[in-house]
Structure 1
């Protein structure tokens, strides 16, 4: 009887608040994450402390520090909330009638590749579903998947925790993009490539030196970056009327002829990249995410036609 009374005292919203506090370690940020007022989150924290008979968090100058008991709850709490989401979304996923919201993370390059195929598939087969897209560094995407805040993440990833599942969607190669009037369609020689100024796209705070510069370093040479910017979408637009060179993932550029640009092969070898989809192992059996993963695998695996690069 006592166990039944304890269950009656549990408000599922309290667990959601606890999850946000464990993730943010800050009262104001947790309130923003939940779209609640700070007093409402403080009140919920008070109820959690009474319910669990533990202070849960200690105030510090930088925010909140979880107690050992709160830290012990973090992983099982994520599992419980994931199971609740699966229960509410139904064990069987019917795309034609579903009203589910999928939470995804990707860069603007990933969005340019993933979203067109994704939205065509959803509007065709699952018109009642919605999508929330966030962006962030690769490490932030991995953390979001690990703590249950994200359903899927799309990017080129390095190492991931053992609980993270990953699937290669396609292999990405690199090409050079230049102003067609300035360079024509002839590929740059290696020396011409090094003599020209370059555009570099580097978005995340944990951005690595870059695959292009790593490949150049193996030759003992380096390039001059005249423009560094965080957005793939803007990178190609600045090339017209300049001698700038953009060395970029092939799928990031399209319709370049209409922009007066030319795509050519890189004059030195750059190892291809694997563009991947990540999810947590706890979501392996989620019917909706299984359906979505299959949709993305089928849509992105074939390489679509692109501009000629010879």
Structure 2
């Protein structure tokens, strides 16, 4: 009983976050507290339990034996306490908040034209900060807590703490200058391979789905123009003999361009899942839950 008088629920919650994250900064992020406050709480917990709880080994923090024993009953106790307390409702109309998202410009085309107007109508106090990065860097930023959620194509085997939701299945299409195509409006495999191609990728050597399909067919294409961004990719096709093969959503802004012809690739290219990922530490955040569900609803309503 004397020990219980020295410890309050906030310290137990902090202890649980520290034992789960094994990292003071990430525990602070999970708790919406400052790092010094969590460090001070850890010092108090070490005195109360007469144990270091977290020790540094091999460049990181690991649980002591005592901490490992504490974690299961502590998790159960906090879960039971949480069930007694109703989750506060999230009011998007009154919320004042910044969410950090990561996506490529392809993802931005798929998500932001629908999301931005909806937020202005329903949640005008919510701001978005969008950054771009490779798949690996986005995954690392989600894991470290630097961003709230990321969008893209990620490995199927993700860390257990990373949650994922498939927003849609994407397919590939080709675009070329209409004047350079036969009356049928498309090309056979030989004609397609004979033309110069545009590649959009963060790295020109990226092993993307198109190159994998060509490799399976035992052929290769000539990439005459490699670009790191989409802004001008479709426009450079007009008035040239270039072909651009890319995910369908990449062309949303150009479907009505009378100069361009869209057609199905002359060989099978595997579709891919476009996913949203986030860290499990965010799942107790009602605002984060609201934004995730809002984005899921938008993409479902928009269709493939």
1:126-166: per-residue Cα shift (whole Å, max 9, x none)?
01110011111101111111111111100011132111111
Uncovered stretches (5+) of structure 2, i.e. residues with no partner: 9-17, 28-39, 47-51, 72-86
TM-score (norm 1): 0.70
For residue 116 of structure 1, give the secondary structure of its aligned residue in structure 2: helix
Measure the CA separation in 1 of the matches of 2:24 and 2:251: 40
Matched residue pairs, number? Answer: 257
Query: Structure 1 residues 239, 19: closer, same or farther in 2, change over 3 A?
Result: farther
1:219 & 1:295 partners in 2: Cα distance? 41
1:297 alignment counterpart: 296
**Is 2:150–2:276's contact at 8 Å kept on the other side of the alignment?**
yes
Following the alignment from structure 1 to structure 2, what is the Cα–Cα distance between the partners of residues 123 and 19?
A: 35
Q: Which residue is equivalent to 1:146?
A: 143
Contact kept in structure 1, 2:105 and 2:229, CA below 8 Å: yes
Whether the 8 Å contact between 1:184 and 1:262 is mirrored in structure 2 is no
Gaps of 5+ in 1: 8-14, 23-46, 58-64, 77-89, 306-310
Q: 1:280 corresponds to which residue?
A: 279
Q: Deviations over 1:102-135 (max 9, x none)?
A: 1100011111111111112111110111001111
Aligned-partner Cα distance in 2 for 1:102–1:21: 17
Match of 1:178 in 2: 176
Residue 122 of structure 2: aligned partner: 125
> How far is the alpha carbon of 1:93 from its aligned partner?
1.4
- Among candidates 145, 159, 162, match of residue 161 of structure 1: 159
1:215 to 213, 216, 219: 213
User: Of residues 217, 225, 231 in structure 1, which corresponds to 2:223?
Assistant: 225
Q: What do the CA deviations read for 1:10-37 (whole angstroms, capped 9, x no partner)?
A: xxxxx9xx96799xxxxxxxxxxxxxxx
Shift of 1:254: 2.5
Residues of 2 paired with 1:117 and 1:3: CA distance?
51
State which structure, 1 or 2, has the greater radius of gyration over its C-alpha atoms.
Answer: 2
For residues 137 and 19 of structure 1, the distance between their equivalents in structure 2, rounded to whole angstroms, comes to: 26
Q: How does 1:1-310 map to 2 (within 5 A)?
A: 91-159=88-156, 160-183=158-181, 186-203=185-202, 208-256=206-254, 257-258=256-257, 260-303=259-302
* 1:143 partner SS: helix
Runs of 4+ in 1 over 3 A off after TM superposition: 1-7, 18-22, 50-53, 65-69, 302-305
Contact 1:240–1:259 (CA under 8 A) maintained in structure 2: no
